[in-house]
Amino acid sequence: MRLAYSAAELARVGLLAAALVLLSVGAYPGSARAQACGGVDYNAMILKIIDGLPTGGGYSLSASHVELPTITAHNIGGGHWEMRVYDGHPTHCTGATYTVYAHLVALLHNSGAIRLSPTQLRALAVLRTMPDGTARTDGEGPFAIFNSNGAGAAALLKHTGTGFSFRDDKLMYARPGDFLKLFWNENVGSTERGHQAIYTGHREIEGRDMICFWSSQSQKKKRRGGHTEPLYFPASAAAKVQDGYGVVCRPRSDIKAMIFSRITCMEHLAAGLADMAVKSAVRGATPDLFVDDYLFAIRTQPSDHATLDRTYGILRAAPPVPVRATFADSGIAPLP
């Protein structure tokens, strides 16, 4: 499915990015990413994108049956290129959440709020092979970074300078529209079990503490408290858990750790992808050939949460003052 936006909506995105500029600079002073961020509520845009996507469609982890988003770049004349995104079904959790990320990039690029080169647009596509024909694996290029164990969304935001990540067990800082990595066990890397989602809220269902989120998942049964019950719960009385896209809730007791990743400055994306291309120069100088060595390694090796946090600057408490100032455009209320 390709989302359609009205001319008024596209214009509004462009005006927001152009007009609502903060006095603070970006997270990378002294670099191309030191430009000011526009005061855009990307969380609200992400939630609107989710609203426009279908529900269901099926869930699959099988390489031979999973459908990942199709992302294409089209020359529309006058030196302009358009990014188009089509979601695929059935898909898994990172396929679903990367689809939302790609729709956000397309909306911003096509409206003129950000400007990516044709090479950068193509680098954001879901690429299954390397130039030599070998299979692309976790950590190799933007999608394969996002798709990795550990915290793929946190890694991609870190590499592109477009946001930041944090832990928030008390849910005092998280906002609907944050990307959310859920860990079902205590492990990181080759032995971890987890789920990539987009946070939609925190609520009580049948007297139990629940974390609610949008993603692609499959309903199953789980033993809890001596009896068997559904793995996921509907987010409202009128809702139904379906295999594939949808908002569901999971008991807080099932979750061993959470990492929230918030997009705050997509104005940095082009420069961030350019940085990735420079760092991949020995491999061909394009963003899709950038390799995250940590994510590549933990495909087959275990790691730990402390190393994960250090690698991607994942905050464990209230952000320090420089980060609070840098990301003041995200509409975050100060922590008590």
Cβ-proximal residues to 208 (8 Å cutoff; 6+ apart), any chain: 251, 252, 253
Q: How many residues does the chain have?
A: 336
Dihedral, 178, 104, 146, 92 alpha carbons, nearest 10: 90
DSSP 72: E
The angle, 0 to 180 degrees and rounded to 10, between the axes of the packed helices 42-51 and 93-111 is 110
Q: Given this model, what pLDDT does residue 271 score?
A: 96
Q: What 3-state class would DSSP assign to 306? A: helix
Domain regions of the chain by residue span? 7-165+263-330, 167-259
Neighbours of 327 (CB within 10 A): 21
Q: Given this model, what pLDDT does residue 30 score?
A: 32
* End-to-end CA gap in the chain: 42
Cβ-contact 125, 72 below 8 angstroms: yes
If the chain, 336 residues long, is cut into consecutive pieces of 10 residues, what is the mean pLDDT of each piece?
52 40 29 60 95 93 78 93 93 95 97 96 93 91 96 97 94 94 98 97 90 96 94 91 95 97 95 95 85 97 98 80 39 36
Tokens (6 digits) for 310? 């250090």
Q: What 3-state class would DSSP assign to 261? A: strand
Instruction: Look up residue 71 and give its amino acid.
Output: I
Rounded to whole angstroms, the Cα distance separating 96 from 247 reads 12
DSSP 126: -
Q: Given this model, what pLDDT does residue 185 score?
A: 97
Cα four-point dihedral sign 220, 176, 53, 143: negative
Q: Given this model, what pLDDT does residue 131 score?
A: 85
Continuous H helices in the chain: 7-19, 42-51, 93-111, 118-123, 142-146, 152-160, 269-279, 293-297, 305-312, 321-326
